[in-house]
Structures are given as structure tokens and as C-alpha cells.
């Protein structure tokens, strides 16, 4: 068996090329059928995300998986093959197994440690299995990849630290309040980053989300998205006493919240802490607010510092994860050795033993009666010869299986020893 992965990702192709190669979920089953029919590949999984398009495939013979997949991608997506080729990478054998495991563990992602890729990989595998395109060796390879990802998540902290501004804000809020359950949030401004942060806050257990924006239609849209409460933009300071977390991203060219506004809110809150996140540029909140007790104000630069620190931490965790991946690649390769080489080794040994027994029986008439010592000597001699004959082929079988993508040693040995044939 040959296992190969051919594709492109965010490091080899810009977005305008990746989007040309993308496979919508609605066409995935048809694409898998077409791929196997047109290329003759035994099994295939197509992984298509915003950052990568990859085809993982197995073939039982010497067929060039790279050439087959290149041709399929170009034809099915309607692009010129020569235009596409410079952006593609190709991995075979051990390198392909390692690549699959690294993708599953989010070591090959744009943001190392992000959790989405594992779900996307599982969905791609399920689609292939339901289409009948992953019912053999690929099933074992992908199942092992999912276990590798789980082990990396369990044994390292690669996914624990925030590496996006919106998520970093939520992590800081959690450090300040402990639990975010039931905390009340107000979004001042309704941009995309506010929306992302609000999603993280909602998932973390925050209670009611209030929304205000200079453009009423956008505020209504955001409030509907989070089942929130709409606040008139010119009066949002009046609700500050009931707010635990404020996220400001207004396009206003001046401060919309100053030190006195926050001081009055704190007094009404009896100095219960407030967390203010200012991700607007120019800033929405007067920096002097940070001088007040029980107020925690973070602007974009503060959040970027947190993100960069966490990113460096993930790099360190990634080094530990790479060690885990390499261990699991060794384990997978050993399993493939046993699966691919084992049956041929057993068949070769059985055939050689049958030949040995046959030759002894054929010569018994000529040798006449043998003493027990002579029988033992004959047994030792013939077994030794058979073992020496088998040693070379068996060693090559194991070596070839370790390479996985090396020369088809098993097929060659089957032919020269006429394994599986009656004569």
C-alpha cells in the first residue's frame, strides 16, 4: 500500500488560489466518487477549509498518486494544471503520516493550537466513510490521527492560551472575575471584532448582552444575533452601573467614556470591579480611567502584548507536541509494517517449509532407514538452509514496509517465490 497526501495551504498559496480549489460541502460526496473513478485510487479523503485543500489517498500499486491528484484537482476545479502545480505539496509514506498527524494536532495551522481543524478533519473523514471512500487503511490512519490530536491536547497546553485579540480579551476577563457566568456585557460599537469577542463571552457563560451603536440598524442586527438588549447610543453611560464588562469599538474620533463617567458608575456599583476593553483605533476610553481602583482597562496594544506572549508560549508547547507526533508516527509505521509485511512473511515461511518437507519425503526412499541422530541432523540442516534463504527476503519486506512508499517489495517477493500459486 502507498499512502500519500497532495494539496496546498496558507503557506503555499494565497487566498485567491485556495478559494478556487475549495470544495463546498454540498459537492464533496460527488467529488470523492469522481476522484476514485477518474484516478483509480483505492481510498481518498478530501479536506477543504479556508486555509487548505488536501487529498489523502491510498493506492495498492505503483500508481503515481501525485500525478493522479494533480490532474483531478485541476480538472474538477477548472484551472490550468501548470498554473496550479507550483502551489502544491506532496507527501508519501512516513512523511504523509507525519503531515496528517500534524494537521490533526493543529501544528500545521495558521494559528498553532486552534481547535477548529480537528473538527474539520473529522467531518472530512466522515464524508469519505459515508461515500465508501475510506473503508480500508485510511480508516486506521485517520483514527490514529484523532488519537494523536487528543494526546497533544491532553499532554501539552498548546490550545490553552489566547492567540487572537478577541479571545485574549475574554481570557483577561476570566482572570479578573474568575467565572464569567451571569456577567452583564455591553458592546459599544458593533464591528466584526466586537462580534467575535461577544461570541467568546457568550460561550464563556456571560449573561445578558447589551448593544449600542451610532448606526441603529447595525445595533439592532447585533442585538438580534445575541438575543441582547438595545440601548440608545447617547444614553449608554446611564446603564454603566449594571455593567461588568464593556467592550468599546466605536468609530468615534474622540473619547466616548471618560474618567468621571466611570467614577460615577463605580460609586453606583459600590466599587464592584469593572472590565473595560477598548479595541477602537483611535481609542474610545480615556486612558486616565485606569487610575481608578477596581477598574481594569485594556486597549489594543495591551491585548496585542498578551497575544504575542501567548503565541510564544504556544511555540514552546508546539515543540513538545512535535515529539508526541514523532512517537505516534513510529507507532503507526510499526503497525503498518505488521499489516503489510506480516501476511507475506507468513506465506513465504509456509511455502518454504512445505518445500523442505516435500524434499525430505522425496529423498527418504533413497536414504533408507535413519537413526534418531541422523533424523535430527537432517532436520537441523534443512531448517537452517530454509532460514538462510528466507532471511534476506524477510529483511527486505520489513525494510520496505517501514518506508511505506518505497519499492513494492511485497509484490516482488510474491512473484519470485510464486506465492499464492499452485506451482
C-alpha 266/C-alpha 268 separation (Å) is 5
Largest Cα–Cα separation, the chain: 116
C-alpha 194/C-alpha 181 separation (Å) is 19
C-alpha 302/C-alpha 84 separation (Å) is 41
Residue with cell 506465492: 419
> Are 164 and 341 contacting, i.e. CB atoms less than 8 angstroms apart?
no
How far is CA 281 from each of CA 206, 254, 299, rounded to the nearest angstrom? 26, 10, 9
The answer to whether residue 50 is catalytic is: yes
> Are 411 and 342 contacting, i.e. CB atoms less than 8 angstroms apart?
no
* The one catalytic residue among 15, 19, 25, 50: 50
Return the SS3 of 354.
helix
Among the listed residues 280, 315, 329, 332, the one whose alpha carbon sits nearest the alpha carbon of residue 301 = 280
Return the SS3 of 291.
helix
Cis peptide before 282 (omega within 30 of 0): yes
> Are 72 and 39 contacting, i.e. CB atoms less than 8 angstroms apart?
yes
Cis peptide before 158 (omega within 30 of 0): no
CB count within 10 Å of CB 237 equals 18
Which residues contact residue 110 at a Cβ distance below 8 angstroms, ignoring those fewer than 6 apart?
10, 51
Using alpha carbons only, what angle is made at residue 54 by residues 93 and 14, rounded to the nearest 5 degrees? Answer: 125
> Are 409 and 396 contacting, i.e. CB atoms less than 8 angstroms apart?
yes
C-alpha 123/C-alpha 77 separation (Å) is 21
From the number of C-beta atoms within 10 Å of its C-beta (0-12, 13-18, 19+), residue 28 rates as buried
The DSSP element (H or E) to which 246 belongs, if any, is: strand 245-248
Q: Which active-site residues does the annotation give?
A: 50
Amino acid at each position: 500500500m502507498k499512502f500519500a497526501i497532495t494539496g496546498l495551504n496558507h503557506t503555499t498559496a494565497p487566498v485567491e488560489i485556495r478559494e478556487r480549489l475549495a470544495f463546498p460541502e454540498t459537492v464533496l460526496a460527488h467529488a470523492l466518487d469522481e476522484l476514485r473513478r477518474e484516478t483509480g485510487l483505492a481510498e481518498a479523503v478530501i479536506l477543504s477549509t479556508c486555509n487548505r485543500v488536501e487529498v489523502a489517498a491510498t493506492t495498492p500499486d505503483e500508481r503515481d498518486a501525485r500525478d493522479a491528484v494533480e490532474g483531478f484537482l485541476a480538472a474538477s476545479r477548472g484551472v490550468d494544471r501548470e498554473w496550479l502545480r507550483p502551489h502544491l505539496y506532496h507527501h508519501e509514506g512516513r512523511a504523509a503520516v507525519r503531515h496528517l498527524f500534524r494537521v490533526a494536532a493543529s501544528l500545521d495551522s495558521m494559528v498553532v493550537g486552534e481547535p477548529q481543524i480537528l473538527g474539520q478533519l473529522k467531518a472530512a473523514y466522515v464524508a469519505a466513510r459515508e461515500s465508501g471512500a475510506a473503508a480500508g487503511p485510511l480508516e486506521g490512519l485517520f483514527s490514529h490521527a484523532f488519537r494523536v490530536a487528543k494526546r497533544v491536547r491532553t499532554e501539552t497546553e498548546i490550545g490553552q492560551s489566547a492567540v487572537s485579540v478577541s479571545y485574549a480579551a475574554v481570557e483577561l476577563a476570566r482572570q479578573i472575575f474568575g467565572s464569567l457566568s451571569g456577567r452583564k456585557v455591553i458592546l459599544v460599537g458593533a464591528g466584526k471584532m466586537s462580534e467575535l469577542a461577544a461570541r467568546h463571552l457568550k460561550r464563556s457563560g456571560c449573561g445578558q448582552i447589551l448593544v449600542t451603536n451610532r448606526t441603529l440598524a447595525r445595533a439592532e442586527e447585533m442585538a438580534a444575533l445575541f438575543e441582547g438588549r438595545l440601548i440608545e447610543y447617547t444614553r449608554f453611560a446611564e446603564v454603566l452601573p449594571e455593567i461588568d464588562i464593556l467592550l468599546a469599538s466605536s468609530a468615534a474620533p474622540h473619547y466616548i467614556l471618560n474618567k468621571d463617567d466611570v467614577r460615577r458608575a463605580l460609586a453606583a456599583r459600590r466599587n464592584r470591579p469593572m472590565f473595560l476593553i477598548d479595541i477602537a483605533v483611535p481609542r474610545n476610553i480615556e486612558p486616565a480611567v485606569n487610575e481608578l481602583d477596581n477598574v481594569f482597562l485594556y486597549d489594543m496594544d495591551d491585548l496585542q502584548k498578551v497575544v504575542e506572549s501567548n503565541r510564544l508560549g504556544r511555540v514552546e508547547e508546539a515543540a513538545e507536541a512535535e515529539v508526541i507526533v514523532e512517537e505516534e508516527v513510529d507507532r503507526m509505521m510499526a503497525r503498518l509494517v505488521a499489516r503489510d509485511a506480516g501476511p507475506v512473511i507468513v506465506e513465504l515461511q509456509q511455502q518454504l517449509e512445505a518445500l523442505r518437507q516435500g524434499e525430505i519425503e522425496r529423498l527418504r526412499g533413497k536414504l533408507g532407514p535413519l537413526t534418531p541422530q541422523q533424523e535430527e541432523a537432517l532436520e537441523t540442516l534443512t531448517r537452517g538452509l530454509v532460514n538462510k534463504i528466507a532471511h534476506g527476503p524477510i529483511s527486505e519486506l520489513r525494510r520496505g514496509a517501514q518506508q511505506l512508499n518505497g519499492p513494492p517489495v511485497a509484490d516482488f517477493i510474491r512473484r519470485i517465490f510464486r506465492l499464492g500459486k499452485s506451482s
